[in-house]
Amino acid sequence: MSQRAPDHLLERMLFFSDAVFAIAITLLIIEVHVPALPRGASAVQFWQELVHLIPSIFGYVLSFLVIARFWITHHAAFAHSPPFDAKLLWPNIHLLMIVAFMPFATAFLTKNMGAMVPALIYNLTLVVASILSVRLVRRATSLGDAAGHHGEEQLAYLRTRGLAILFAAVMALVLGLFVPYVSQAALASAPLWLYLLKRRARSRVNAVSSS
Amino acid sequence: MSQRAPDHLLERMLFFSDAVFAIAITLLIIEVHVPALPRGASAVQFWQELVHLIPSIFGYVLSFLVIARFWITHHAAFAHSPPFDAKLLWPNIHLLMIVAFMPFATAFLTKNMGAMVPALIYNLTLVVASILSVRLVRRATSLGDAAGHHGEEQLAYLRTRGLAILFAAVMALVLGLFVPYVSQAALASAPLWLYLLKRRARSRVNAVSSS
Amino acid sequence: MSQRAPDHLLERMLFFSDAVFAIAITLLIIEVHVPALPRGASAVQFWQELVHLIPSIFGYVLSFLVIARFWITHHAAFAHSPPFDAKLLWPNIHLLMIVAFMPFATAFLTKNMGAMVPALIYNLTLVVASILSVRLVRRATSLGDAAGHHGEEQLAYLRTRGLAILFAAVMALVLGLFVPYVSQAALASAPLWLYLLKRRARSRVNAVSSS
Amino acid sequence: MSQRAPDHLLERMLFFSDAVFAIAITLLIIEVHVPALPRGASAVQFWQELVHLIPSIFGYVLSFLVIARFWITHHAAFAHSPPFDAKLLWPNIHLLMIVAFMPFATAFLTKNMGAMVPALIYNLTLVVASILSVRLVRRATSLGDAAGHHGEEQLAYLRTRGLAILFAAVMALVLGLFVPYVSQAALASAPLWLYLLKRRARSRVNAVSSS
């Protein structure tokens, strides 16, 4: 589990990525519009305004967790500090482009809660983000791991765990065609997929090592 | 007081956190709306506009100091550069989620100065942030301190000092139910709580070492 | 290909630059306005709204790629970690000033798609950015490369590759005077210019070494 | 001129500061509002809109340069990488608070160009920022310079150069009381002050060493 410091070209790339993730995740709050009531408004009126904000706040929490999950995967993908390779640059930029798009997709979803098209766009965004994340993880983990940071099982899991959000997003996508209002609930299945992918990684590695 | 460099997985996590703190603290100014008066407006009219901005500017200063205080605690919590542990990731994300929520809570408070519900939401946000901060500090300081960076007294203080904002926020919360307009003033008690917690940490450590 | 760690004054400058690039690139999404339709709007109405957003989303993708390309050049320009020199500071600030201006130029272009003046301003912004980028790259690569990180061919290419966006932007600029709607398409010629500049760098270096 | 790497507590503080500077400087563009004209508007109409934007763009450039100058001073103040001292934290936070306030002061100035009060507020902001900057520089440079990074003359200059913006801002402040429209021009005297302060630092050091 040695953790070599990344060389400085990789470090700058990770740094730039962290900044984009951090900005995208923090910008989410901008789309939760602040109610301003006339002076002397009653507490009841304020609570009503807050009730109207529930979709926006739900979207804030959901997308915060989703972007955080992509960041954690990015963080794990470079844990072994591979040597810098210029072939990482564009796949990384493409992932960041879809991550930075999340505040839009989130606001479109939450301002039109219950409508099919915004839910479709949101879930499609997650599908594309998952695919780009899996692609980047595979490229990062194929660059050699001289320090042996990742065990075999850990590596097998890392290379597939991006699929958890993909599966959850596809479920949400399909569900959204029929019952838009609750389609996002399907995203809550991500931890289940993570668990299944972890089990599969373990059994695969065991199968290989016992053969 | 040696200060080991954090390993690169911890460094990325701290880096990502610093960026979120920095963005949240800088976004606060966006909610202070810029008055634009017609050409030829008198100086008196400009001063009147600025007087109307007092709550917003008060909120800017207050929340800047509050977020800075949470950042300083975060900074101290990882001063001993514990080895990276994946169990830090989510408690850290949860703290960041509430920190990034502060610009909303601030604007809701200052645009409705004197109303009970916005003051309640603001103080509740601080209460939750304090609890999540204390939780993260405890996890970070339980990961061992091989370098002996923190003295016993310093550690005891560090593990409780997040409570200062908690106590101040609870006071503000209770006060806000009765006199919303001045409830935020209770937050000024935070330094007092910090002082009391420091004394308590010292006397506790002394009690242990003299026994 | 050794990669020395930059000294800490250079590192801070790169860090600050990366943060500005990251913020400018992520702010682009703010200018894509989120449609909010009345409850019960049909899917057809949502798709129509999205069709109206095509110019904004096109501008988001275009400027994301353009800023990313400038960042990649910046990243390459300091790959050899020259010693810090205060003469780098202002040329770097000037480049950042035009990069941070991109969200404005982008929104002006996409909100007035097909008009000549906004296309002119956008392309002029790229022209200025390219010139400032080439200037910074030249200064950075003239500071010595003790580690021999850049080969002769690589260096010759690096010092000219900023011209690719310059040539593409000038083409777009000229084309925009006649057919504003498609002038941005000329920017797609950037990879072609990159390829030609790479070939020229190679043949030049070969000519020198065979003489 | 050796450049020690800062210890990690100082590094995090510098990092956090760089991020706040970077966000404040990049947010400036948000206050330059993007004109959207109806389809078919003539080029003349677009140019007219751009003429109306001149104050905003002037403010963008001015404040970009001002914030960059404060960042460069901050960068120089920690060039010698003093050991971390908790007494740096709050003076640094106070400087960041006024830097993050700059986008507001800028927009207030440029949306009300020619009015006295906004020019007063803008120049006052610079005065406060200069004082806080000088205070932080003094504290940072008093922490010892074991590596002898700063020469005597350089140090004397560093400790006073923050006064250049202070003098320029005071001139602008006084001028603004009489001719608001051009008061900002007085800020252009900053390089002159810098030059005078540099000469004074040199002659002082020479006087001491020849005595």
pLDDT in tens, C50-106: 999 999 999 999 999 999 999 999 999 998 888 888 899 999 999 999 999 999 999
Looking at the complex, does the CB of residue D48 fall below 8 Å from at least one CB of chain B? no
What six digits make up the tokens of D39? 């389809």
Cα–Cα distance measured from residue D12 to residue C21, given in angstroms and rounded to the nearest whole number: 20
| Chain B residues close to A36, C-beta within 8 Å | 111-112
Which residue in chain A is spatially nearest to B5 when comparing CA positions? Answer: A5
Residue C146 has pLDDT above 60, yes or no: no
Can you state the percent helix, strand and coil of chain A, rounding each to 5? 80, 0, 20
User: In chain D, what percentage of residues exceed pLDDT 90?
Assistant: 51
Between C7, C16, C23, which is nearest D3 by CB?
C7
Q: How far is C192 from chain D (nearest CA, A)?
A: 31
> How distant, in Å, are the alpha carbons of A92, B94, D59, D162 from that of D129?
38, 34, 17, 9
pLDDT of residue B27: 94
Q: How far is C114 from chain D (nearest CA, A)?
A: 9
- This prediction's pTM: 0.93
pLDDT of residue B1: 39
Residue B90 has pLDDT above 50, yes or no: yes
What six digits make up the tokens of C35? 């449609």
Cα–Cα distance measured from residue D28 to residue D64, given in angstroms and rounded to the nearest whole number: 7
Mean pLDDT of chain D: 87
Residue D211 has pLDDT above 60, yes or no: no
pLDDT digits (tens, 9 = 90+) for B133-144: 999 999 998 886
Three-state secondary structure call for residue B38: coil
Residues whose CB falls within 8 Å of the CB of residue D139, separated by 6 or more in sequence, listed in order: D87, D88, D91
Residue A53 has pLDDT above 70, yes or no: yes
Residue C54: count other Cβ atoms within 10 Å of its Cβ: 11
Neighbours of chain D (3+ CB pairs under 8 A): B, C
| Chain B residues close to D23, C-beta within 8 Å | 22-23, 26-27
Instruction: Output the DSSP codes for C63-108.
Output: HHHHHHHHHHHHHHHTTT-PPP-GGGHHHHHHHHHHHTTHHHHHHH
The ranges assigned to domains in chain C are 8-210
Residue B97 has pLDDT above 80, yes or no: yes
Confidence of residue D208 (pLDDT cuts 50, 70, 90): low
Mean pLDDT of the A136-162 span: 76
Structural contact between residues A159 and A200, judged by C-beta atoms closer than 8 angstroms: no
pLDDT of residue C2: 42
What six digits make up the tokens of C78? 């300091």
User: In chain B, what percentage of residues exceed pLDDT 90?
Assistant: 51
pLDDT digits (tens, 9 = 90+) for A54-86: 999 999 999 999 999 999 999 998 988 888 888
Neighbours of chain A (3+ CB pairs under 8 A): B, C
Q: Looking at this predicted complex, what is its ipTM? A: 0.90
What six digits make up the tokens of C175? 């084309």
Looking at the complex, does the CB of residue A60 fall below 8 Å from at least one CB of chain C? no
Please list the alpha-helical segments (H only) found in chain D.
8-27, 43-77, 89-99, 102-111, 116-141, 152-178, 180-183, 190-210
Confidence of residue A1 (pLDDT cuts 50, 70, 90): very low
Structural contact between residues A63 and A125, judged by C-beta atoms closer than 8 angstroms: no
Give the residue with greater pLDDT, B147 vs C49: C49
pLDDT of residue C96: 98
Say yes or no for a CB contact (<8 Å) between C46 and A117. yes
Mean pLDDT of chain B: 87
pLDDT of residue D148: 57
Residue B174: count other Cβ atoms within 10 Å of its Cβ: 12
What six digits make up the tokens of C168? 């593409």
**Which residues 107-136 in chain B show a CB within 8 A of chain A?**
107-108, 111-112, 114-118, 121
Cα–Cα distance measured from residue C157 to residue C149, given in angstroms and rounded to the nearest whole number: 14
Mean pLDDT of the A16-27 span: 96
Three-state secondary structure call for residue D164: helix
What are φ and ψ of residue B42, in 5° steps?
-85, 165
| Chain D residues close to B37, C-beta within 8 Å | 112, 115
pLDDT of residue B210: 64
Say yes or no for a CB contact (<8 Å) between D64 and C89. no
Cα–Cα distance measured from residue D59 to residue B31, given in angstroms and rounded to the nearest whole number: 20
Residue D131 has pLDDT above 70, yes or no: yes
Mean pLDDT of chain A: 87
| Chain D residues close to B6, C-beta within 8 Å | 8
Mean pLDDT of the D42-47 span: 92
Mean pLDDT of the D39-66 span: 93
| Chain C residues close to D50, C-beta within 8 Å | 117, 121
User: In chain B, what percentage of residues exceed pLDDT 70?
Assistant: 92
Structural contact between residues B97 and B133, judged by C-beta atoms closer than 8 angstroms: no
pLDDT of residue C1: 39
Q: How far is A115 from chain B (nearest CA, A)?
A: 26
Please list the alpha-helical segments (H only) found in B41-151.
43-52, 54-77, 89-111, 116-141
Three-state secondary structure call for residue B192: helix
| Chain D residues close to B50, C-beta within 8 Å | 117, 121
Between C3, C37, C41, which is nearest A9 by CB?
C3
Say yes or no for a CB contact (<8 Å) between B25 and D100. yes
Task: Tell me D85's DSSP state.
Answer: -
Residue D2 has pLDDT above 60, yes or no: no
Mean pLDDT of the D19-45 span: 93
| Chain A residues close to B30, C-beta within 8 Å | 30
pLDDT digits (tens, 9 = 90+) for A94-121: 999 999 999 999 999 999 988 889 999 9
Looking at the complex, does the CB of residue C18 fall below 8 Å from at least one CB of chain A? yes
Between C19, C97, C115, which is nearest D22 by CB?
C19
